[in-house]
Amino acid sequence: MAVIFGVISIVVPPLVGDMTVPGINVKGGFLLWVCFMLVTVIFVIRALADALSLADVLTDIFLRRLGAKEDHSLKRVGRDAIYIILTILLASAFIPFLASVREIGNMLAGAASLVALGLIIVLIYDIGRILYRTVEAKAEVLADRLVKLATRNRKKKG
């Protein structure tokens, strides 16, 4: 779909660019550009949402393999923080040794750094996700309480 829209965005504007759309009095090229931007934005949002759900599932599978049993509890945030520190420390300890391997040392050290960085990003993502859900749940409870309070006040006044 993205490719098709890409082709359309290249081919169509030159044909209709100068044409004024009757009724709304707007140039065809501009209208097409607006439509194209809207579709792109929708696509990006949807794609990001899908990617996030995929990332959620993959992160869960990955962390369960690491031994995380808790479902989105704050204890898991502590566990993630431990893994982040361990990753940094282990990478710091072993990368100098990997770098000293003849000929391929730099490549190995670079690869190890990238793996460590990827792992840290996954763990930070997990922490962010858990904290967001915790805050969201607290906000919902607060909102419910406020609604109940407002309803009670209204009943009293009524």
Partner 1 sequence: MAPEAILVFILIYVLVVLLSATEMVPMSVAALVGALLTGWFGLQYGVFTYGEAIGFIDIRLIGLLIGVMIVVEVADRGGLFRLGALYSIKMSKGNPRILFITLCIMAAAVSMFLSDSTAILLIAAAAITITKLLDYDPVPFFLSATIMVNLGGTSTLIGSVSNMIIGVQAGISFNDFIGYLAVAEIILWALTILVLYYIFRSRLRKKRTPPTYNPWESIQNKKLFWRSTIILFLLIFLFVFSDSMGVEPEAVALGCAILALAVSEIDPAEIFKRMDWETIFFLTGFLFVVGGLEKTGLLGTLSTQLFQLAGGSLFIATLLVLWSSGLASTIVSNMAVALTFTPIVQGFIGLNKIPMWSALALGTNLGGAATPFSGSVVIMALGAMKKEGINLNFSEFTKVGFITTFIQLAFATVYVIVRFGIGG
How far separated are the first and last CA of the chain, in Å rounded?
56
**Applying CB under 8 A, does 151 fall inside the site for partner 1?**
no
Residue 121 Cβ, how far from partner 1 at the closest point, in Å? 18
Site for partner 1 in 31-90 (CB under 8 A): 75, 78-79, 81-82, 85-86, 88-89
Closest approach of Cβ 130 to partner 1, in Å?
Answer: 14
Closer by beta carbon to partner 1, 79 or else 129: 79
Residues in contact with partner 1, shown as a per-residue x/- string from 87 to 126 under the rule CB under 8 A: -xx--xx--x------------------------------
**Cα 8 to chain center, whole Å?**
29
| Total chain residues near partner 1 (CB under 8 A) | 12
Nearest distance from C-beta of residue 59 to partner 1, angstroms: 19
- The residue ranges that bind partner 1 (CB under 8 A) are 75, 78-79, 81-82, 85-86, 88-89, 92-93, 96
